[in-house]
């Protein structure tokens, strides 16, 4: 049994992670602002704290130590630095949820396509950077300055029934309702991972003797036109294409060709599911 702390364990794939940790017999604490309720009852401990307040973190976790800490809600170099300062020698492994957005667009992106060990650190808050740059800088801080072991799990778009972004479901809803929307490139190619698999992967990687960045995504890729076809088949209705971007925009516009290679994780033994089958099942 490991003593585990989870930042961001009350919704979406964070909930799947916490359930996996509980199912595997770990002593789990969720760090939360107390806004979103969870349904884990007495199976977890809870700490109410603002993740982006270094003094509050220091007070909340004074004299506490953990085998593993998961950080699903770190979006800036400042927040990464707070974690380094607060947990210092009080954690064995720190697993940071990163993103495919640390990479420039491309196909079959490998871990070495972004090197956080040599990336120049620039400090700032979440609002000082766009999403991808905030994550790049957070990785750089963790890998260059953390006194503990760090893993950065780079996820693509995460899909699931409780996805608060509603990106995939917007395709399904619009086609079901016969509402037109604009897609800028039907051949846009993407990687996905389900929220269930994301949670399972995060637990799994903690069991491995591994440090560094690692990609995690379903096997295969999927195109926008394939998503649309799945929705059309589901509802026996045709997509109504808006003529230009002055109309409602498709949720994945702008992704174009942006896919991950998961070879490293597969060679370590994780068995990913197929992206097309996972998308079809969710729709």
Mean pLDDT of the chain: 95
- What SS3 class is residue 66? strand
In the predicted model, is pLDDT for residue 180 greater than 80? yes
Residue 246 pLDDT = 72
Closest Cα to residue 138, out of 10, 207, 16, 51? 51
Residue 256 pLDDT = 81
* Whole-number percent of the chain with pLDDT over 90: 90
Give the Cα separation of 169 and 234 in Å (integer).
13
Q: What pLDDT digit, counting tens, does each position of 8-54 carry? A: 988 899 999 999 999 999 999 999 887 778 889 999 999 999 999 99
Q: What pLDDT digit, counting tens, does each position of 99-145 carry? A: 999 999 999 999 999 999 999 999 999 999 999 999 999 999 999 99
In the predicted model, is pLDDT for residue 185 greater than 80? yes
Residue 255 pLDDT = 81
Q: What pLDDT digit, counting tens, does each position of 217-261 carry? A: 999 999 999 999 999 999 999 999 998 777 789 999 988 889 999
- What SS3 class is residue 50? coil
pLDDT band at 159 (very low <50, low <70, confident <90, very high): very high
Mean pLDDT of 68-92: 97
pTM score, two decimals? Answer: 0.96
Residue 35 pLDDT = 77
Please give the domain boundaries of the chain with CATH numbers for all domains.
3-157+193-215 (3.40.50.720), 159-191+219-259+271-282 (3.90.25)
Residue 76 pLDDT = 98
Beta bridge partners of 241: 181
- C-beta separation of 142 from 80 below 8 A: yes
Burial of 55 (0-12, 13-18, 19+ CB in 10 A): exposed
Mean pLDDT of 59-87: 97
Beta bridge partners of 257: 189
Query: From start to end of the chain, where are the E strands?
Result: 3-7, 27-32, 45-48, 66-71, 91-99, 106-109, 149-155, 157-159, 189-190, 192-194, 212-215, 222-223, 257-260
């Amino acid at each position: 049994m490991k003593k585990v702390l989870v930042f961001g364990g009350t919704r979406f794939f964070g909930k799947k992670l916490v359930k996996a940790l509980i199912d595997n017999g770990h002593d789990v604490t969720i760090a939360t602002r107390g806004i979103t309720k969870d349904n884990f009852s007495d199976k977890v401990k809870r700490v109410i704290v603002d993740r982006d307040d270094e003094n509050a973190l220091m007070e909340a976790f004074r004299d506490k130590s953990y085998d593993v800490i998961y950080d699903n809600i770190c979006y800036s170099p400042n927040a990464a630095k707070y974690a380094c300062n607060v947990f210092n020698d009080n954690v064995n492994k720190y697993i940071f949820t990163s993103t495919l957005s640390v990479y420039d667009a491309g196909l079959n992106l490998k871990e070495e396509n972004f090197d956080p060990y040599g990336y120049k650190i620039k400090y700032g808050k979440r609002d000082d950077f766009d999403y991808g740059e905030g994550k790049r800088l957070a990785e750089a801080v963790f890998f260059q300055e953390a006194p503990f072991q760090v893993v950065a799990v780079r996820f693509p778009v995460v899909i699931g029934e409780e996805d608060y972004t509603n990106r995939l479901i917007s395709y399904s809803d619009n086609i079901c309702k016969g509402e037109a929307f604009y897609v800028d490139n039907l051949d846009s190619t993407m990687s996905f991972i389900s929220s269930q698999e994301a949670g399972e992967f995060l637990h799994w990687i903690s069991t491995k003797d591994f440090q560094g960045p690692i990609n995690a995504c379903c096997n295969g890729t999927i195109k926008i036109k394939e998503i649309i076809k799945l929705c059309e088949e589901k509802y026996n209705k045709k997509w109504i294409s808006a003529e230009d971007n002055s109309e409602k925009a498709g949720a994945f516009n702008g992704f174009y060709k942006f896919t991950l290679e998961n070879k490293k994780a597969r060679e370590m033994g994780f068995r990913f599911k197929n992206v097309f089958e996972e998308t079809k099942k969710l729709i």
